[in-house]
Amino acid sequence: MFTIEQLQAFATTSEAGSFSAAARKLGRAQSVISQHIMNMELDCGVDLFDRTGRYPKLTEKGHELMPYALATLSQLDRLNNKASQLFSSPATKLVLAVDEGIPLTRLPIALKNLEKKFPSLQVECLTASSPDIIELIKSERATTGIILSDLQMPKN
């Protein structure tokens, strides 16, 4: 029913606040963005933006549709990242061993940021005691580790 270009125009117009700002952000002509939105509205049979004011504002139906458009675009990004991983360089794997005493509340955020920066990086997290982490690294079952104690990695 909708094209990717239409969904991008819809989401970007809402985010940017105007058709011309969305056009600049997407590198398109303003008329192209307006046409994408009008075609979506024709396909839906409802107005997605209220154009009575200076800037277009999402209608109630536009607000209802937006989460689905954003989810579709997000899924498209993941698909593109996966495809580029499959058809480009082989994936790199990072096995991170984390001390059991370290609170893991911020780790998911850090891992998401790492995934965004390095989409081909596969990260595996292990929890273990500090001495066990050193053994995991020595035996090459972990790439790196975060420990709480003053233990040092042996030189050999």
109 in the same domain as 135: yes
pLDDT value for 101? 82
Say how far apart CA 154 and CA 14 lie, in whole Å: 56
Tracing tokens 């094209």 back to the chain, one arrives at: 3
For 103-120, write each residue's pLDDT tens digit. 777 788 888 888 888 877
For 16-69, write each residue's pLDDT tens digit. 999 999 999 999 999 999 999 999 999 999 999 999 999 999 999 999 999 999
Say how far apart CA 127 and CA 106 lie, in whole Å: 15
**Angle at Cα 45 formed by Cα 43 and Cα 47, nearest 5°?**
105
Say how far apart CA 103 and CA 127 lie, in whole Å: 11
65 in the same domain as 128: no
Residue 27 is part of which domain span? Answer: 4-86
Q: 86, 101, 122 — which closes off a domain?
A: 86
Is the pLDDT at 85 greater than 90? The verdict is: no
pLDDT value for 11? 97
- Alpha-carbon torsion, ordered 9, 10, 11, 15, to 10 deg: 90
Say how far apart CA 14 and CA 6 lie, in whole Å: 12
84 and 119 in contact (C-beta within 8 Å)? yes
Task: Tally the domains of the chain.
Answer: 2
CATH number at residue 52: 1.10.10.10
